[in-house]
Chains A and B, each alone.
Chain A
């Protein structure tokens, strides 16, 4: 019983929950989205700020205001840690890796080099009711990033 719970609520998750990183809504940003989990009412407002860098478009900042459980709050914190400062293409690859782990029913061995603190969510994949909690901010981030990337691409084409 406790082992299952401990697999779900890893220390890393509880730490991020108590002290979330990159929390709050900041300027500037190119896209803001609001995502809800209709079954439980969890909500996140998330902003993405992109900037040009030598390696292409980069995630300059992710800021958010989230209401929800420990899993969804910690997930937003870990997400922002992982993607801020990364080229968009790398960040998207991390997103895909996280998604694969969460949809893997606990049978996917996560890559710690890619997911870092994110591997703490591997245990959540065994709790079907909680997977959506862990994915809420990731879905919001992807949505916001895609809508922020589009105008930037148009700008580049116009050059």
Chain B
């Protein structure tokens, strides 16, 4: 028995009906693509079905019982998300479509007239290990405003290169936007230290928590004021919730300073033909009918994680990741891209095998029922940094077992034999 695994792992796995799937040729599913999207427990599926079967109505405007129930369920989900991330104030939780939309909301509204508007001569700092969704919106912002994009490099070990921290984040910096946990390298970045520096120079600290929210206990209110991000984005479908729902958390003072993103119903206070005034947060940023059932599903998802306990989920991930790192390194010719110490990384492990292309690895594994991702994982610059065009990535989650890691390692050995590398 490996220390740190969830104690009732086999019971937990039964919560996820898809894990019992049998694939082509009778192969049981070995799902190692959770950094791409996580699987959903029955309670999330049931909660969404129940909402649609019994409580469906539009929210906030329907003057009937169902409308009240739907509104309560939607706002209840906001409370649950706020609790999940330890938000100081539940109104600071804005529902979006996904993490990309949350980051685009930030990058767009920061380019528009307002107290926080970025302009020529200003600088925006990101890093080489970002997902494309935390690169492209800032490139667009810089193109539109004349600001300059700068970035942290990555060390050979896969950590952020902080040696030039003070030269990179200066009084010209208006925004620092960084990934908390890398989706490719697995690296956990020292977000608090960088936020401290960003705040020293008066910059806004934006955090992409897409891979952090599923694995790390997050307590925003418990973070020291100077280390707490100003904006934080994550998506529902990676925290055992449905697709189509994401979250932008922001400090009230910052969200109040940003202009509205999308205009429409629900985000207004009053509208005349000449001008409109806007609803207070969070509704200011939630134009139109939101993904209601998805929000309700996300509420059930974060509740599920809270019942398991995010500290336990985190320990499980670390135990499985350590076991996987050990197993992978027994495969001849395999190189892990990213930190080799499980304590400082998340559960996504990207690797190369000399002589076999990642697509070929993924195809061979797929015929054995093992689902991994192959390609650039929407992090092309990070791959370029390591001189590789693509990689194979396994990513575990709270339902991953050591047996599944064994199946992966065996599958990789079989792949090498198949391509006659021995």
**A interface list, Cβ under 8 A from B:** 1-2, 4-5, 8-9, 14, 39-43, 67-71, 73, 127, 129-130, 133
Contact = CB atoms under 8 A, between A and B. Distances in A.
Interface string B383-398: 1000001100000000
B368 A1 contact: yes
B51 interface: no
B12 to A, nearest CB: 29
A158 B402 CA distance: 72
A108 B358 CA distance: 28
A72 to B, nearest CB: 8
Interface of B: 24-25, 27, 356-360, 363-364, 367-368, 374-376, 380, 383, 389-390, 418-420
A5 B418 contact: yes
Nearest to A73: B357
A123 B76 CA distance: 51
A92 B316 CA distance: 56
Nearest to A8: B363
Most buried by B among A4, A14, A39, A40: A40
B368 A133 contact: no
A149 B380 CA distance: 34
Contact of A43 (B375, B389, B420): B389
Contact of A4 (B357, B358, B367, B390): B367
A70 B360 CA distance: 7
Contact of A130 (B25, B363, B418): B363
A5 B375 CA distance: 20
B359 A69 contact: yes
Contacts of B357: 68-70, 73
B389 A69 contact: no
Given A5-B364, A68-B389, A129-B363, 9 more contacts: A4-B24, A5-B363, A9-B418, A14-B420, A40-B359, A41-B389, A68-B357, A70-B419, A71-B360
A130 B362 CA distance: 11
Contacts of A9: 360, 418
B359 A133 contact: yes
B27 A41 contact: no
Given A1-B368, A41-B380, A69-B357, A127 B363 contact: yes
B418 A40 contact: no
B252 to A, nearest CB: 39
Contacts of A69: 357-360
Contact of A41 (B356, B363, B364, B390): B390
A39 B363 CA distance: 15
Most buried by A among B357, B358, B367, B374: B357
A138 B375 CA distance: 21
Contacts of B364: 5
Contacts of B27: 1
A5 B367 contact: yes
